[in-house]
Amino acid sequence: MAEILIDTYFCSNCMTCVELCPEVFYFNEDTEKIELTSINPEITEDVRQAVAYCPEKCIEIKN
């Protein structure tokens, strides 16, 4: 099963992924980091868009 990894070290909290795919990505106000809404989200076209448009290239889909 594919997994989505976010390298929060490189993430700039630009919110692009949240805007493109709020079903899967959200900003956790407590940790101040982007997190996933579920452990095994479906890899939809919106997820792929978020990966493609992340300016820091810090979202990875791992198979």
**Other residues' Cβ atoms within 10 Å of the Cβ of residue 59:** 24
Specify burial of residue 11 (Cβ count, 10 A radius: 0-12, 13-18, 19+).
Answer: middle
Radius of gyration from C-alpha coordinates of the chain: 10
Interface residues for ligand SF4 in 3-62 (CB under 6 A)?
6, 11-17, 34, 54-56, 58-59
- Minimum CB separation from ligand SF4 for residue 16, in Å? 4
Task: Give the nearer residue to ligand SF4 in terms of CB position, either 43 or 58.
Answer: 58
Residues that bind ligand SF4 (CB under 6 A): 6, 11-17, 34, 54-56, 58-59
